[in-house]
Amino acid sequence: MAKVLCVLYDDPENGYPTSYARDDLPHIAHYPGGQSLPAPQGIDFTPGHLLGSVSGELGLRAFLESRGHTLVVTSDKDGENSAFDRELPDADVVISQPFWPAYLTPERLARAANLKLAVTAGIGSDHVDLDAAIEHDVTVAEVTFCNSISVAEHVAMTILSLVRNYLPSHRRVLDGGWNIADCVARSYDLEGMHVGTVAAGRIGLAVLRRLKPFDVHLHYTDRHRLPPEVEEELGLVFHPTTADMVPACDVVTVNAPLHPETEGMFDDELIATMKRGAYLINTARARICDRDAVVRALESGQLAGYAGDVWFPQPAGPDHPWRTMPHHGMTPHISGSSLSAQARYAAGTREILESWLDGTPIRPEYLIVQGGKLAGTGAHSYSVAKDHG
């Protein structure tokens, strides 16, 4: 029988919900492009409920225990003698979310003698050291596309919030103020701006589609160029590199995975080539942007705003400079963990577990590493630092 170790974020401060703002979720037949939604053999949860916190357990307990497996759920993942570290040595499966990542470092993977499967309940598996997973023959899987549109909606919301100076204006109302001039002194229209995405995969392309009706000029860069008919449909300008694209843009949104080629990409040098007063949005991974370079650019006015919901480490400490830097719109890592998305990534996690436990193939689009090498989506999206061939 398998031991499944699941790391989830804490319950709400006032306790696990007993009721919700809405009674149901809209029906979605399939993802854009036709990929089918997760299709587990069954579910033991109510879609629209809080599944991503400790008490939600991703709806997995009844399923796993009915088959005789053990489920351990914790939010304690960091620091000396964490519950995660105590439970890891004999775990067969580790599940965690990008929003509350259980970092599977080379040291942890070396101690996890029984580990065979690492599942990301969501998308983005960079909290797993992929080189070490390859070395230890650990399969890595994620629920591809489950929250891509959720993140794309967050990006569109954040761009408008920054450009229109929404958050400071809302804060003025909460504080009892009314001065209109203070609110609009940093407010602009998005219409007519040049907006570019670093990477135009599922999230990046969805962002471009959502921004098209705002009558903006759209740019993108990606290692895989989009089909000509898509470029024509959206009026896209392709740039071979990020360095080529950012000087042309008023807004840049980062939608790329974290790997050696993207880590630290937005440093002082690259940000200096952007238009003065440009906006930078990063809902991908924090380490794609140099933490202190972002702070310096906001303080100098080179950037008019920075927003996103990804930090390093996660959760960020109370003294993290992104909490107090000027003109930011940061949130905790929430963009891909809406209640709508949770229903999909919980179902996808169960589908992956069903396949693994039954010895049937895991969908290729869910695979990142398998058989000691990058596989499926991982082979398309990631790179590794070492040659394991």
Q: What is the dihedral of CA 354, 357, 359, 362, to 10 degrees?
A: 40
In the structure encoding, which two tokens stand for residue 139, read together?
Answer: 């399969």
Provide φ and ψ at 64, rounded to 5°.
Answer: -70, -45
In the structure encoding, which two tokens stand for residue 230, read together?
Answer: 């898509």
Which residues have a Cβ under 8 Å from the Cβ of 137 and sit 6 or more positions away?
371, 372
The length of the chain, given as a count of residues: 389
Q: Which residues are catalytic?
A: 147, 285, 314, 333
**How far is the C-alpha of 303 from the C-alpha of 213, rounded, in Å?**
25
Mode of pairing for the β-strands spanning 139-142 and 367-370: antiparallel
Mode of pairing for the β-strands spanning 367-370 and 373-374: antiparallel
* Burial (CB count within 10 angstroms: exposed 0-12, middle 13-18, buried 19+), residue 109: buried
